[in-house]
Chains A and B, each alone.
Chain A
Amino acid sequence: MKMKYIATSCLLLGLLLSKNDTSAQVGLYRNVLPDGNIKKEYTEAKNNQNEVQVLFSGLFLFYKTFFSSQDLTVCTFSPSCSEYGILAVKKFGMIKGGVMTMDRLTRCNGLTPQNYEIDKKTMLLKDEPGADNAVPVVSTIK
């Protein structure tokens, strides 16, 4: 009978200690792991020069905040299609930038990766608006 009390109290004490230990471990890693609520800053939507750019930056931020944030990163390119769109509109204007974005949307299929370089940072296909992908030839003269 006495042994029963001793065993029960040992068990309770063990549980109490292990609980404290677990909470201590959780506390140890609390600030190390990201909690998923980090606010992203989109530099593409900054430094607008005119009303059209402000409008498109607004649309871009609306899409990023309410639609894109609810989904996984599925775009095969870096910058992503929405980022490419706002960059293209800012660089080439609304009409050409818009047409370039529509073309980019049809290319975002991952079927022709051989046409692009790989962005080492994001491990996605590199495709910036107006970028020239030709390899410089003269510097290779040994």
Chain B
Amino acid sequence: MVSMFDRKHYFYGDMPVGYQITQQRNPLAKDGILDLFVFTPGIHKSPYVKKVKIKQLQLEQDSGKSLHGSDSSLVDLNRAGMGLMEVVFEPDLTDGEEAAALVKELAGILKKIGTCTCKMEEGGLRVDANVSIHQEGEPLGTRTEIKNIGSFRGVASAVKYEIERQIKLKEKGYQIINETRAWDANTKSTVAMRDKEEKQDYRYMPEPNLPPLHLSNDEVNQGSVNVEKLRKSIPELPAQIRERLQKELGLTLSQAVILVNDSVLLQFFEDSMKMKQLNPKLLANILIYEFSHIIYKTKVNPEHFLNRSNVVADLVYLLDTRKINRGIFCYLLEELFIGNPKQPIEILQEENLFQITDEEELMKICKEVLNENENLVTLYRGGKKNVYKALMKILVNKSNERADMAKCDEIMKKLLNGE
């Protein structure tokens, strides 16, 4: 296969040589397929599979960045001329969540093979979303293109907004016009960008400074890329990781999808699993719920903590072996995450936070709680079963949050109902 480069000509301040080197006639690759899972907790109950066709993949030069002021324009040329890979997808997606899932999957692959950081905030990965609406069975409607999307969630929100905007327009009887719109993350809306001038003839011409790029499947002579050799050097990709997590470690599909979509969580998962023999499902749940919650709550970048993933492993091990309970676990994890340099076991010993699992001791605490709260006991026995929660909360405090609550639950129920 031969891939070729072309010059696309236009005068614009952000393109200092007056043309962009791109691949118009023979792109690097054509007609591909990307399989992905769409799953946004809170929106979808469970993950579903989506197949998206890749129209083509081309290499081109990045342009500079124009900054328009009221009386002057500035151009930032730092990016101009840098290599850029553009992946063009067929219109196979139906909503913003699918679009976001596609971008995440693609980012996962590109990061794995070392293409780029895929950080949307830094422009390492950019998304131009083309949106159109149509009634089932009818041809695709006129599309608009959304630029300036700065995050994965932005992809979902921008597409959702644009679909709703187009539907509203149509319902009012207006036509959709083919235009470029910018996503404004603050107002959560798309706004029409400055009009591109009327249709241009780009006067494409083969790029004479770049010889054709030959791709081949066999051992080949000089100046050609051996695709097979490249393929063999590709590391485990997201789809394969999801499969391994499910088949070898017994995670649910949802767990696997969530972990693979979040490279940092996945890193904690993989690192922790290497350090200790842990229950994979428990670890996955801890990361997806407790740990994610702590990250969200403290707003601390979790990447700094990656070199302490032994802490995560230790804590999950302590939890799994019932040395600590979930409350203490969360307390410790947060404490360590925000910067306490000690080891978990040190804090446990200093603050005496080990879980109380001894039946007799638990029985003693339970009885004390009941004795000290006779009014609640009376209410409970009189039929007000929901005071049970209050009793349990008192128990948690009384034990300094150390009681094995699962066991206490049994004991309390026995004490309250069995006497």
A in complex with B: no
Which B residues are within 8 Å of any A CB, using their own CB? none
Which A residues are within 8 Å of any B CB, using their own CB? none
